[in-house]
Structure 1
């Protein structure tokens, strides 16, 4: 059991925590494993928890998952991307997020692969404080929530079949 963030006014993330509130809605989200030609991976640092994660977020009404992935990566990291593949679908009912408005969401995450086009990564100063490129071998020393770490590992496993779970 892990609670990622317990700040009084912010978003709260619960991973298999028996004290987690019960989710009232399942929210489809996309997260993007964007890589440069040199293999470095794009990560963003959340303002609320300070943890590093993949850029991504909720799919809005009227947009496709791929459109949401491109939009979220540009918003959170300032980097335009092209979606190139699918790493997996992650639907763990023990992973819930309590939003700042009080809504409790069960995460339903599609993790997509992408190629970065150009741009210098930077945070949006709203959800993300910074964005940066990391070599895969340097990820071990970063604070990354266990679900996001598993998503990244799945995406980096070259030749693996997409995860469906």
Structure 2
């Protein structure tokens, strides 16, 4: 399903859903970050997705990271919370979702790189390589929050 991100765009459609979600900044012992290239928008992104009934947001982050990258992770912190009503995702099925996400910091504990049905590529990147990658502003914000070492609460 195709997706378009709108952030601070006066022409964005009005949200019609709000779904809890989690993303994960996974950093290995060398300081590299794990990213996936999304199939729905061809942009590099953090692993993440929507929370299921019966799981916690950290459990969601762990599950989504394994499903999307092939790595089992351990949550070690929080990068930030992202809940701006000025950021919506419009899907081709008519859903327009307001962002409601917590981004966790994690370390890999087991696994190997694996592409999922949601991605076309999964790779480890040095922090300095990230600036040249195509990435939606909201994901770049999370990566920059991690790189800057500040763990903000975003409103």
- 1:96-115 residue pairs with structure 2 within 5 A? 96-115=88-107
Q: Structure 2: 5+ residue runs without aligned partners?
A: none
Deviation of the 1:161 alpha carbon: 4.1
1:10 Cα shift?
1.7
Deviant stretches of 4+, over 4 Å? none
CA deviations 1:5-36 (Å, max 9, x no partner) are xxxx6222212222221001221110100011
Q: State which of 95, 105, 108 in structure 1 corresponds to 2:87.
A: 95
In 2: Cα distance, 1:82 partner to 1:46 partner = 23
Q: Which has the higher contact order (CA 8 A, sep 6+)?
A: 2
1:122 deviates by: 2.1
Distance 1:149 1:11 in 2: 17
TM-score normalized by the length of structure 1: 0.88
Aligned to 1:57: 49
Q: Quick one: distance in 1 between partners of 2:153 and 2:148? A: 11
> Cα deviation per residue 1:52-102 (whole Å; 9 max; x = unaligned)?
010001111111001100000011111110001111101111111123432
Structure-1 residue corresponding to 2:61: 69
User: SS in structure 2 opposite 1:149?
Assistant: helix
CA distance in 2, matches of 1:130, 1:66: 24
Structure 2 equivalent of residue 4 of structure 1:
none
Aligned CA RMSD, in angstroms, stands at 1.4
Distance 2:104 2:11 in 1: 31
Gaps of 5+ in 1: 1-8
Contact 1:80–1:117 under 8 Å retained in 2:
yes
Look up the match of 1:27: 19
Q: Distance in 2 between matches of 1:14 and 1:45?
A: 19
* Partner SS state of residue 71, structure 2: coil
Q: In 2, Cα distance between the equivalents of 1:59 and 1:48?
A: 19
Q: Secondary structure at the match of 2:110?
A: coil
